[in-house]
Amino acid sequence: MLSKNIETALNKQIRIEAESSQTYLSMACWAEAHGLEGIAEFMYTQSDEERAHMLKLVRYVNERGGATTITDLKAPKTSYATFKEMFEELYKHELFVSESINELVHITFSERDYATHNFLQWYVAEQIEEEATAKSILDKISLIGDDKGGLYLFDRDIQQLTVTSSIAINPK
């Protein structure tokens, strides 16, 4: 059985994961509207993955006898000056999510809820991957600079990253 404090913290994380899904969906829409098909596909996949992360938390709360609370979400940003700015915001967002997961893990440890602590280790590992992917993408964008040919190749290549990620990750 979950304590009220842990239930509240898990519900907060459910909201964060839902907002993450919406953020990626908004980024996908922006990229698609700007002819960046590869980036759009990457973002659509990320949006789906974040929703899966949310559902995993929802099911966990329900299985442990807690009450999942679905709340309204903060609207995501819908426009970016450049695709680089969009990926910089994505990276900052992933750092925020990691901080939130770490705080949640700390709460479970403090309350000696080792089952939830263990459950959250998957999220800890997932965030390491999310941050590394975002940082790697930013490094590639820095290499491209203002080269339009480089942007074309990056947009095409990021589709490969999408295929690899969706096969390698099983959020269940």
Binding-site annotation, residues for Fe cation:
17, 50, 53, 94, 127
Which burial class, exposed, middle or buried, applies to 75 when counting CB atoms under 10 A from its CB (0-12, 13-18, 19+)?
exposed
Nearby residues of 104 by Cβ (< 8 Å), 6 or more positions away:
9, 10, 12, 13, 120, 123
Specify whether the CB–CB gap between 10 and 61 falls below 8 A: yes
Give the whole-angstrom CA distance, residue 54 versus residue 10.
10
CA distance readout (Å), 77 to 18, 25, 29, 89:
14, 10, 11, 10
Specify whether the CB–CB gap between 68 and 112 falls below 8 A: no
- Binding site per annotation, positions: 17, 50, 53, 94, 127
Burial 10-24 (b: 16+ CB within 10 A, else e): bbebbbbbbbbbbbb
